[in-house]
Amino acid sequence: MDQVSQQDTGKADAIVVASGFQAFNPVGRPRYGYGINRNVITALELEQMLREKGEVVRPSDNTIPNSVAFIQCVGSRDHQLQHAFCSQVCCGYAMRMAEAMYHRHPETKISIFYMDIQNCGKNFTEFYERCKDHIRFVRFMPGDIFQGEQDRPILYYGDEQDGRSVKEAFDLVVLSVGIMPAPGNAALAEMLNLDLDKQGFFALVDPLDRTSTKQQGIFLAGTAQGPKDIADSMIQAGQAAQRAAEYLETMAGLK
């Protein structure tokens, strides 16, 4: 069912800002050919495909891919785009979806191209070691992606051992897109008289308190403050709720 947006007005003694995020649009990195080669998709599109179809197929011909490449840090840790931050979630979700594909079709060859694997989350190291048994990890970020025969994306990258140029075609390429600030952050910050950091997330005033803002009674939660996974977002949301409750108790003279 489609939801119709509406606006309400009201008064509040405390506010928790939890504006969320938007995924990076890989059209902003044209070298990957997203939107041109149908068999270059985002991890979000892959997740939707798994959820709706229970299967991963090539968009060009609806066949099951024999080879899949994940490219990490698309939009994150990109100094050219002035996105120096890590999105915290890309390594984990890429490996989880790669595992889901492997268990459906063990014969599929899966490669993950990365800069660094970020150890985020409980039992991550054990999960990573298990993935390495059947997933190839390539510590090199490919350059431009070209379209080959049968709509197969062609990647060029450097060999980890000797640096020689390698050309390899895949049936499907998945771009692990990062976390970007929510599009409404600027307007919300202006309305609440809050500051944004240089990336566009809400700025902290106390690095030891990730819920803090320059305005009394206004607190931050989740990816409004910066990239983080679900577990960290839940922890910060709990902290923000606690800070808000303490503030209200103080205002009411209970403390």
The mean pLDDT value of the chain amounts to 89
pTM: 0.88
Q: Where are the beta strands (DSSP E) in the chain?
A: 15-17, 21-23, 40-42, 67-74, 109-113, 136-138, 145-147, 153-158, 165-169, 172-177, 179-181, 218-220
Q: How confident is the model at residue 163 (pLDDT cuts 50, 70, 90)?
A: confident
Confirm if 55 and 48 have CB atoms less than 8 A apart. Answer: no
Per-residue pLDDT averaged across 226-254, rounded? Answer: 90
CATH number (domain holding residue 88) = 3.50.50.60
131 and 191 part of one domain: no
Place of tokens 């350059």: 143
In terms of residue numbers, what domain contains 71?
Answer: 24-178
Strand partners, 37: 34
* Domain membership flag for residue 5: no
Most confident listed range (74-78, 143-147, 185-189, 226-230): 185-189
* Domain membership flag for residue 153: yes
239 and 130 part of one domain: no
146 and 193 part of one domain: no
171 and 189 part of one domain: no
158 and 195 part of one domain: no
What is the number of domains present in the chain?
2
Q: How confident is the model at residue 5 (pLDDT cuts 50, 70, 90)?
A: low
- How far is residue 227's CA from residue 244's CA, in Å, rounded to a whole number? 22
